[in-house]
Structure 1
């Protein structure tokens, strides 16, 4: 097994950061495999796997038929045979045909066999909206995966996190759903290879004292924009990047909201039965005695994700998040 030692820092886009992480995983773990639609010679639709087949060969980075149930079923079999598959589902909405394999095989096999057949699978899914895609290319599926016992779910919000969380996820003995925010693929930022920071739980990306904004994926950047605008009116907003959507970092949520005493949860998925409800209840259970207002949710609407020309009307925008903050700050108990 090779040892990859990247040192120093480098400015990378998120897609390049994930590419670098995959290259390092493949170099270090000879049992790691990358598979999916067009991940080989083409390098993937978003070029996440660009150059990997040329470097590691077609036996370790290979294209599959256009059949998501086959990709995930094959991954389950490879894991049972002692490999660490890293499958890609090309777009979030294409995951639906493979739900059976994910829920009834990958999530359960380790439990079903009492640990005899672990499922070290890192499932990469380009996720969420923000790039004006056609139907079934901008889904938010975290509410499904977070509900399924046996799965872990993570979503990075920056190139630095994308690199280190992918490296971390690919060492886990459990199946990890790695939800990559497509809208942030081209965001460039510094990746510090020497200081990964904490790899578990949530992280405060902007400290504040008046209110906590909780978000994940592409909405973290939007919440940071909102926090800067709120600061112009003297409102000091803390932004908490949840990152791990399963398991939820209850202690991290409690630490932030017990300080600010108010919270707004922001996500792209529809509101009804969305993950924001679980986050809000987790906050309420931990901070009920100190909350100054009910936890607010700013989300997508309870309709299918619209076509690209209408997505700006669907996604939580700056004004909607600011109104959510205003409602919480102005709340008065009856």
Structure 2
């Protein structure tokens, strides 16, 4: 299930959603140190598919600070969790696409400074989430961008998400449910707008 959006609506509750092992360790240490309640989401598929050297030494990463994984000028891709890796795969297949890729890492607090700076630079934004469309994080991010960066936009803000249906368990149906098969086409359409 992808229920992270439910918890971002609770004032004072922090929501962490790393995409990489290095980030997971640093953010988990910071979450433990935080005197306030923190929900820490771990995507179980990433346990078996993403590997990274992680320092044995103690370190922390600040909550509310997104990571800029790729830099470009044509579009801002905003993602978190598994969608970060899906976006990286799409960009590796399309090296001609000049994109900023922002990994949010925490959903509350949200790094609006990084989001707005990137969108103002590129003029386009696409928000990529595993959750279904309605009521997801992408909806609030889209509204924030439209309110704060409207005069900088060269195209409408695009959201790419899973289908608004129950999650199927059969692999073939799950592949159709997830947004992975639709993201590349939606990204290219946004660039042509």
The aligned residue for residue 325 of structure 1 is: 187
Using the TM superposition, name which of 154-163 and 307-316 deviates more. 307-316
Counterpart-to-counterpart distance in 1, 2:167 and 2:126: 22
Structure 1 SS opposite 2:41:
strand
Q: Which has the higher contact order (CA 8 A, sep 6+)?
A: 2
Counterpart-to-counterpart distance in 1, 2:54 and 2:77: 24
Measured after TM superposition, the shift of residue 223 of structure 1 is: 0.5
Counterpart-to-counterpart distance in 1, 2:72 and 2:53: 23
The aligned residue for residue 279 of structure 1 is: 141
Is the helix fraction higher in 1 or 2? Answer: 2
Counterpart-to-counterpart distance in 2, 1:153 and 1:308: 30
Structure 1 SS opposite 2:19:
coil
Counterpart-to-counterpart distance in 2, 1:295 and 1:214: 11
The aligned residue for residue 214 of structure 1 is: 78
Measured after TM superposition, the shift of residue 220 of structure 1 is: 0.5
Mark the structure with the bigger radius of gyration.
1
CA contact (8 A) 2:76 2:101 kept: yes
Q: 1:155 to 1:251 in 2, by over 3 A?
A: same
Structure 1 SS opposite 2:77:
strand
For the pair 1:316 / 2:188, whether they are aligned, the reply is: no
The aligned residue for residue 224 of structure 1 is: 88
Structure 2 matches for 1:1-334, cutoff 5 A? 139-186=1-48, 187-192=50-55, 193=57, 198-231=62-95, 234-309=96-171, 310-317=173-180, 319-331=181-193
Measured after TM superposition, the shift of residue 286 of structure 1 is: 2.0
Which 5+ residue runs of structure 1 have no aligned equivalent? Answer: 1-138
CA contact (8 A) 2:128 2:160 kept: yes
Cα RMSD after superposing both structures = 1.6
Counterpart-to-counterpart distance in 2, 1:305 and 1:295: 26
Aligned length, in residue pairs: 190
The superposition leaves residues 31-61 of structure 1 with CA deviations (integer Å, 9 ceiling, x where unpaired) of xxxxxxxxxxxxxxxxxxxxxxxxxxxxxxx
Alignment TM-score, normalising by the size of structure 1: 0.54
Counterpart-to-counterpart distance in 2, 1:312 and 1:254: 32
Measured after TM superposition, the shift of residue 146 of structure 1 is: 0.6
Structure 2 SS opposite 1:173:
coil
Counterpart-to-counterpart distance in 1, 2:170 and 2:6: 23
The superposition leaves residues 6-27 of structure 1 with CA deviations (integer Å, 9 ceiling, x where unpaired) of xxxxxxxxxxxxxxxxxxxxxx
